[in-house]
Amino acid sequence: MSAMTEIVDREAIRARARAVRLATCKHWRGALAQPPCAAGVDLVERAGPRRMVGWGLRIPCCDAPEPAFVCERKDTPTLEQVEARERDMHESFGRALAVMAAIPADKAVSRGEVPCPQCGGPVHWERSPVNGHVRAACVAGCVSFIQ
């Protein structure tokens, strides 16, 4: 029961996340966006209604060891593509961190502009007076987040 004593092995978590990405079909649009998948496969028709217990293990789109059917359209990314995606996520996280660091900590300041760490153009940001969430976006689209 004690989560405090649980040892978190970051490398194992990263390796697991990569294994899931490598096994996940490019046509998979997310658990709430099916059917059909981006390749037009009706997963509900072929694997059964989503409310079924263990539905995620019945579909062939992700990493289920024994799915209910073999999908003829399944197309998984290469290791190179997964690594490129991981780099993109890492870089976009880095850009968001840089923007957050540039935004004044003073909660009385509720909006403004900071330079984009990617293109140097303006990143417009706004802090919600209600919950303090910051919304920021580069006008050129390099970085965009809600924190």
Report angle CA 11, 59, 87 to the nearest 5 degrees.
Answer: 35
Closer CB to Zn ion, residue 20 or residue 139? 139
**Residue 118 binds to Zn ion (criterion: CB under 5 A):** yes
Examine residue 43 and tell whether it contacts Zn ion (CB under 5 A): no
Least distance to Zn ion, CB of residue 64, Å: 39
Nearest approach, Cβ of residue 85 and Zn ion (Å): 20
Residue 114 touching Zn ion (CB under 5 A): no
Asked whether position 59 contacts Zn ion by CB under 5 A, the answer is: no
